[in-house]
Amino acid sequence: CAVHSRVQYSTVYNPSEKTFDKILIANRGEIACRVMKTCKKMGIQTVAVHSEVDSSAVHVKMADEAVCVGPAPTNKSYLNMDAIMDAIRATGAQAVHPGYGFLSENKEFAKRLAAEGVTFIGPDTQAIQAMGDKIESKLIAKAAKVNTIPGFDGVVKTAEEAVKIAQDIGYPVMIKASAGGGGKGMRIAWNDEETREGFRFSSQEAASSFGDDRLLIEKYIDNPRHIEIQVLADKHGNALWLNERECSIQRRNQKVVEEAPSTFLDPVTRQAMGEQAVQLARAVQYSSAGTVEFLVDSKKNFYFLEMNTRLQVEHPITECITGLDLVEQMIRVAKGYQLQHKQQDIPINGWAIETRVYAEDPYKSFGLPSIGWLSQYQEPLNLSNVRVDSGIQEGSDISIYYDPMISKLVTYGATRGEALARMEEALDNYVIRGVTHNIPLLREIITHPRFISGDINTNFLPEVYPEGFKGHQLEEDKRRELVASAVALHITAQLRSQKVLGNLRVSSTPVECNHWELCVELGERRHVADVTKSGNIYTVEVDGNKVEISGEWNLASPLLPLRINGKHRMLQCLSRDISGKIVLQYLGTSFKLRVLSKLAAELNSYMPEKVAEDTSSILRSPMPGTVVAVSVKPGDTVKSVHCKPGETVGEGDLLIELE
């Protein structure tokens, strides 16, 4: 893809340095595509595995060979070790790159590969086991003189034992799955009752997500930053730290926005964290790329959180500021080569920011999954210093079976300000139709004064949006800009409709008309717009204030580049119809408007309003998914139950009717 070289990362392929002829990628989506890109640069053939529903996925098309490993559910396909082992034998793959998630931190999978003489592109099983168990990893970290969070160094067996331990540590406490990750099986408890409840929910979630219901309890550090160190080690005792990544913007313990470097760390703290991360890697004889996660308090005290023995989702921002291709480094290390660099060779060049673009509704708990078919999809790769790691394309289906990530959007700049400005532009130029997405939230985060100033912590979202995310709140001048844009678009469409193949046709509107009086409905308010047109320029007077708008007005394009009062703005027209209804994406958020003639507006006031559904006695599904359990039955102060365990439901489906 045509991306600026510094953003793309540098794969330094040496033809005389033999690695592998064929690698199987035991993953799907964007990370499978990402690994394949490096393999192709290194002259390595690739094998994709896929479920039945992923048979035409991008990663399948990108690979040299592809093998179906089972039906859609992950436990029957991407977690199906037997089927994946069969695929390895059938294709003759010499090595496996597991990506992240799925089997990437599964010691049994690594053992099975080793037994068949197939190289696992990652650390050895002993390191995976030691760091994959949060209890064992904490003990190892303590022994390696790594700062750790105060807590109970053992498995908590019952809810009452959890309460006693929590009282000893002091509230608040974090209850979490020993085998966990990705925010699964985690609960914060502020009192005894929340500890009992947290123990029950965390053990259930841990068992279903990881097949391991063991829990541990530790002190919860309030309002921390989440900063992680990328490490890289070989099988010859060499280990490096590749600077930090700031990952504090999270929802439900899952990262949303990341950047490298962090605005918060000074060189002394950075070095101390880096050195402790390397101490831990050496303690478990780690070899490959890995990440040591820390919580950092307001006084720059840092505490070990966990080590991820795999490639992180957010690895691209480290690649941007160091120029290293981490996948290439993993492949070299797995083959037994020594690292090519020394610690003093590792730079911090510029600034990189990553936003995770998800098929999610950001207005529901900062992001509940959305599903659908990508009817239109256009990545902003026309911009320089932009990198998009994705595994989907126009026509792809976002299903309930897998993570709803659309892509990782990465921007780079010589300074943080440059990287942020480019991110804002990239988000405005990103076309996604057919699924609900979280671009409104991402754009609001990166333009928020607190984020711009670097005043962030893991509670950023609930602190900034205590009532939940509501989209961009329009200031009066921006409201006028939006109204004027809708009016200009509406008139442009009307004027075009008067022509057939460029020739005028009979129209009720005089052709030479260049002045209009219109009404625009936006939210609960109605605005009067007085419009004049001169050439390509519209002058719109909204509530007594003039707004001047010009643009190319290509009505077939999803992007609408305009100049509004001399300033460049990128809008997107999501929909419009002959009744004057227009949906515009402006400053990241979608706004519904209606443009009417004065007469139509007057007559519209007589139209009956649609009565909203009374939801006080019903419960609808907030998102698509599978019903795990139904804890009520007809008669339990419920009138009727419309679902059963194991059933698939869509967003808005009726679940329960109350008495």
Backbone angles phi and psi of 113, in degrees to 5:
-65, -45
Backbone angles phi and psi of 132, in degrees to 5:
-75, -20
Q: Which residue has the tokens 């760091």?
A: 131
* Contacts (Cβ under 8 Å, ≥6 apart) of 43: 13, 15
DSSP 562-608: EEETTEEEEEEEEEE-TTSEEEEEETTEEEEEEEEEHHHHHHHTTSP
**Burial (CB count within 10 angstroms: exposed 0-12, middle 13-18, buried 19+), residue 219:** middle
Distance between start and end Cα atoms, the chain? 58
**Burial (CB count within 10 angstroms: exposed 0-12, middle 13-18, buried 19+), residue 195:** buried
The C-alpha atoms of residue 644 and residue 628 are separated, in whole angstroms, by 8
How many helices (DSSP H) and strands (DSSP E) are in the chain?
A: 18, 37
**Burial (CB count within 10 angstroms: exposed 0-12, middle 13-18, buried 19+), residue 192:** middle
Active site residue 245: no
Token pair of 441 as six digits: 């939230």
> 197 near 220, Cβ under 8 Å?
no
Here the contacts of 145-148 (C-beta below 8 Å, separation 24 or greater) are 145/276, 145/279, 146/276, 146/277, 146/279, 146/280, 146/304, 147/276, 147/294, 147/301, 147/302, 147/303, 147/304, 148/303, 148/304
Token pair of 261 as six digits: 């470097």
Tally of CA atoms within 13 A in the half-sphere of 611 that contains its CB? 3
- Computed from CA positions of residues 617, 623, 627, 631, in that sequence, does the dihedral angle turn out positive or negative? negative
Taking Cα atoms as reference points, which of 587, 598, 580 lies closest to residue 489? Answer: 580
**What are the C-alpha distances in Å from 202 to residues 150, 156, 444?**
20, 12, 32
The C-alpha atoms of residue 634 and residue 641 are separated, in whole angstroms, by 6
The C-alpha atoms of residue 496 and residue 132 are separated, in whole angstroms, by 62
**Around Cβ 370, how many Cβ atoms within 10 Å?**
21
**What are the C-alpha distances in Å from 200 to residues 162, 188, 205, 215, 217?**
10, 12, 9, 10, 13
- Computed from CA positions of residues 372, 258, 189, 208, in that sequence, does the dihedral angle turn out positive or negative? positive
Tally of CA atoms within 13 A in the half-sphere of 655 that contains its CB? 22
The C-alpha atoms of residue 381 and residue 377 are separated, in whole angstroms, by 12
Q: Which residues on adjacent β-strands are paired with residue 292?
A: 229, 307
The residue annotated as part of the active site, out of 214, 310, 479, 569, is 310
**What are the C-alpha distances in Å from 241 to residues 337, 343, 345, 584?**
18, 7, 11, 45
Token pair of 96 as six digits: 């496996």
**Around Cβ 556, how many Cβ atoms within 10 Å?**
4
Q: What residues are annotated to the active site?
A: 310
